[in-house]
Amino acid sequence: DTAVSQTPKYLVTQMGNDKSIKCEQNLGHDTMYWYKQDSKKFLKIMFSYNNKELIINETVPNRFSPKSPDKAHLNLHINSLELGDSAVYFCASSQGAPQLFFGEGSRLTVL
């Protein structure tokens, strides 16, 4: 059983489109995150939710909208995709301790 799973794993789309990435964790954790990893492997936190409530919202364009229907799920919707949005997006979770559990990543390519 995969602890943190993301879908889709690969996403190729045109500029201007809207797309979503889904994340689910079966670890029973209260906190979930979205991280963006650029082509140089640099990781930057985008959002964090704790028990469905937004607790971290870094400087991210408002075209990015997270949604947490319950504490096991955190989805990321991106409107009006731009070339610069091409990256690998990682979902992660944690529970009261500073250790993150990551999904395998979703590689988004915007053409």
Partner 1 sequence: GDSVTQMEGPVTLSEEAFLTINCTYTATGYPSLFWYVQYPGEGLQLLLKATKADDKGSNKGFEATYRKETTSFHLEKGSVQVSDSAVYFCALSVGTSYDKVIFGPGTSLSVIP
Query: Cα–Cα distance between 54 and 56 in angstroms, integer?
Result: 6
- Tokens standing for residue 74: 């955190």
Query: Cα–Cα distance between 10 and 21 in angstroms, integer?
Result: 10
**Residue 1 makes contact with partner 1 by CB under 8 A:** no
**Binding map of partner 1 across residues 2-41, x = CB under 8 A, - = no contact:** --x--------------------------x--------xx
**82 to 101, contacts with partner 1 by CB under 8 A?**
90, 92, 94, 96-101
Q: Which of 15, 56, 65, 82 binds partner 1 (CB under 8 A)?
A: 56
